[in-house]
Amino acid sequence: MMTRRLALPTLALTALLGAFLFDRADAWAQGLVADLSDHFVAITAGFTGTDVLLFGAVDEVGDIAVVVRGPERNVVVRRKDRFVGVWANSDELTFGGVPTFYALAANRPLGDLAPRPVLERNQIGLRNIRLNAIEPDVTEVEKARFADAFIRLQKKQRLYSDDLGAVTFMTGKLFRTRLVFPSNVPVGIYTVQVFLIRDGEVLSAQTTPLNIDRTGIGAEVYLFAHRHSAAYGALAILSALAAGWLAGQIFKKR
């Protein structure tokens, strides 16, 4: 009993220290350092998407895989079916806690990086993202169909991508890649994981946070609409009345 009580805080402290040390200086011991050109992406009124540069170095030659994951949400996937000639949503499946954004970059094809179990364990590659259905009674075949559709639709919106070969080595040890975020990118805290892979094994991994958030007037409007929605609604009506009246006045004089 006594040892247990002691063991828990000690463990926690060690973990905390470890996390701290791992962050920068000690990372070299892991054979990998990487950082982003920006840790904050601001969505302003003129936002049309942006690029963030990721660069890093390895102490010995190896392969690099970069995984960007957006905030996790529940996503309902619906399938249409024909009812008396009309196409309507019928079957649906909810994937719990899936990343709303996922991008993979690597310096060589996925198959050459590491064996499948390693990729699966680290969720490297679109097919290796863990998709858990909330509904318990669903066949594997059905789940696979919905998962395929989910990934296809996310790719179509440019929210999921696997741009293999986008990581380039400049010398044998310095690498860089460009992370592309489209204009419809969801806001939230992202994680950028960099994996150093050698001989099909993940030697080390480093995780860097990236914050994507609205700023400026757009952010104010969004927050106001969500926090004080009644006042927002009233203001929307008043400004519509004022703008409509003003427009009428301007054109009446002509």
Counting beta carbons within 10 angstroms of the beta carbon of residue 121, is it exposed (0 to 12), middle (13 to 18) or buried (19 or more)? exposed
- Report the residue from 30, 94, 123, 207 that binds another protein according to the rule CB under 8 A: 94
Q: What CA–CA distance (Å, rounded) separates 190 from 177?
A: 17
- Report the residue from 47, 158, 163, 173 that binds another protein according to the rule CB under 8 A: 47
Q: Is 74 in the site for another protein (CB under 8 A)?
A: yes
Task: From residue 31, give the alpha-carbon distance in Å to each of 135, 168, 219, 242.
Answer: 42, 18, 40, 63
3-state secondary structure of 86: strand
Rounded to the nearest angstrom, the gap between the alpha carbon of residue 121 and the centroid of all alpha carbons in its chain is 18
- Report the residue from 12, 17, 96, 117 that binds another protein according to the rule CB under 8 A: 96
Sequence length of the chain is 254
Q: Which stretch binds another protein (CB under 8 A): 13-21, 29-37, 39-47, 164-172?
A: 39-47
CB of 59 to another protein, least distance (A): 37
Q: Which CB atom, from 26 or from 81, has the smaller least distance to another protein? A: 81
Q: Which stretch binds another protein (CB under 8 A): 12-20, 87-95, 106-114, 205-213?
A: 87-95
Q: Is 87 in the site for another protein (CB under 8 A)?
A: yes
In which element (H, E) is residue 54 found? Answer: strand 50-58
In which element (H, E) is residue 156 found? Answer: helix 140-156
Q: Which CB atom, from 97 or from 117, has the smaller least distance to another protein? A: 97
Using alpha carbons only, give the angle 80, 83, 89 rounded to the nearest 5 degrees.
25
Q: Is 73 in the site for another protein (CB under 8 A)?
A: yes
Residue 186, strand partner residues: none
> For the window 194-223, what string marks contact with another protein as x by the rule CB under 8 A?
--------------------x--xxx-xx-
What is the widest separation between alpha-carbon atoms in the chain? Answer: 89
Name the site residues for another protein (rule: CB under 8 A).
43-48, 71-81, 85-89, 92, 94, 96-98, 100, 146, 149-150, 152-154, 183-184, 186-187, 214, 217-219, 221-222, 225-226, 229-230, 232-237, 239-241, 243-245, 247-252, 254
